[in-house]
Amino acid sequence: MTRRLITIFLPLIAPFVMYGIWLWWARRRKAAAGEDVDPFGWQEMPWVWLSVAGVVLVAATLVTSTMVWREKPGGTYESPRFEDGKKVPGGFKR
């Protein structure tokens, strides 16, 4: 669950969060300067570019994670099983 959260959800949502922080900062700066407080609306938000950036980040994260967490060739796979009432996770054994 945590790996899915880090490799898929976080990179997908990161551009939206960063844009939201920038939007909040720009509004505070405009309000402090005494200008119009709402320079940007949610209707004018660049939804397509933020979505594309999120998908690109997810793809880059998935490609990178396969390179980093790759198993070395030459092992045998043992499936998950129960031994003495305890669950033994599966994996590659050398």
Instruction: Please list the pLDDT of the chain residue by residue as tens digits (94 residues).
Output: 677 777 788 888 888 888 888 888 888 887 788 776 665 565 666 878 888 888 999 899 888 888 887 767 777 888 999 999 999 998 888 7
Helical segments of 9-89, H only: 10-33, 47-68
DSSP 36: -
In the chain, the N- to C-terminal Cα span, in Å, equals 26
Q: Which helix (H) or strand (E) holds 2?
A: helix 2-4
Domain residue spans of the chain: 2-93
How far from chain centre, in Å, is Cα 23? Answer: 21
pLDDT at 38: 60
* Count of Cβ atoms closer than 10 Å to residue 15 Cβ: 19
Question: Which DSSP category does 76 fall into?
Answer: E
* pLDDT at residue 50, rounded to an integer: 84
